[in-house]
Amino acid sequence: MTIKLHCFGESGHSYKAALALELSGLAWEPVFVDFFSGAHRSDDYRGLNVMAEAPVLVDGDLRLSQSGVIQQYISDKTGKFAGTPEDKYEVLRWILWDNHKLSSQAGMTRFLMNFLPEDKRPQEVIAFMQGRLKAAFTTLNTHLQGREWIVGDGLTNADLTCCGYLFYPEPFGFDRADWPHIDAWLDRISALPGWKHPYDLMPGNPSDRA
């Protein structure tokens, strides 16, 4: 049975789940969530996910939301991306750190800078968020010095969660050239067989609304 992932291309959290599915080799297909038209707030979608968020994974009768949960399900199903048993809590630590310190703030800042009308972009809020993001980039860049992967000797869910927003082209205060260890790590991820850019992996692109 083909797994369905309700997602949209602009969503970094959707990308984490979609990339894990793609690299795992599982049979899956994206189902477009028209986020910018408010589809996630519809009664039908809330019936799928009361949190009104994407992504949502549907595998038969099973429904899962939250990218970290979906990543863990993929690991449980395939044995991939979990690291060694000794890595379990370290992988989880980075997933929780990313969701609180990196992705949540990157997603918000990118939205404010690119997807709001220019006259409605709160510059003071953006500047504050970019300051917090700089601290997160510093943490990740320092950790990756002398390492190829965030945890252990290969790709894990720690990498798949932390890279979620960092391949997007829209500006939000992240320039790869400023963070050489992050830059090299992103190159390693994009060199993996089967890797795809978020706009190639999922439906939905800012150009669709241009």
**Could you list the pLDDT tens digit for every one of the 210 residues in the chain?**
899 999 999 999 999 999 999 999 999 999 999 988 878 888 888 988 888 889 999 999 999 999 999 999 999 999 999 999 999 999 999 999 999 999 999 999 999 999 999 999 999 999 999 999 999 999 999 999 999 999 999 999 999 999 999 999 999 999 999 999 999 999 999 999 999 999 999 999 988 876
pLDDT at position 159: 98
Please, what's the b/e burial string for 47-67 (b: 16 or more CB within 10 A of its CB; e: otherwise)?
A: ebbeeebbbbbbbeeeebbbb
**Superfamily of the domain at 3-81+195-209:** Glutaredoxin (3.40.30.10)
For domain 85-190, give its CATH number from 1.20.1050.10, 2.30.30.30, 3.40.109.10, 3.20.20.60: 1.20.1050.10
Beta-bridge partners for 31: 6
Residue for token digits 């992967």? 149
How do the domains of the chain map onto residue ranges? 3-81+195-209, 85-190
SS3 31: strand
pLDDT at position 72: 98
pLDDT at position 43: 82
- Name the packing angle between helices 123-144 and 180-190 (round to 10°): 80
Query: What is the rounded radius of gyration, in angstroms, for the C-alpha atoms of the chain?
Result: 17
- Answer for the pair 170, 206: CB distance below 8 angstroms, yes or no: yes
pLDDT at position 210: 67
Encoded tokens for 136:
């997160």
pLDDT digits (tens, 9 = 90+) for 72-101: 999 999 999 999 999 999 999 999 999 999
Q: Which stretch of DSSP H or E encloses residue 65?
A: strand 62-65
pLDDT digits (tens, 9 = 90+) for 103-135: 999 999 999 999 999 999 999 999 999 999 999
pLDDT at position 52: 81
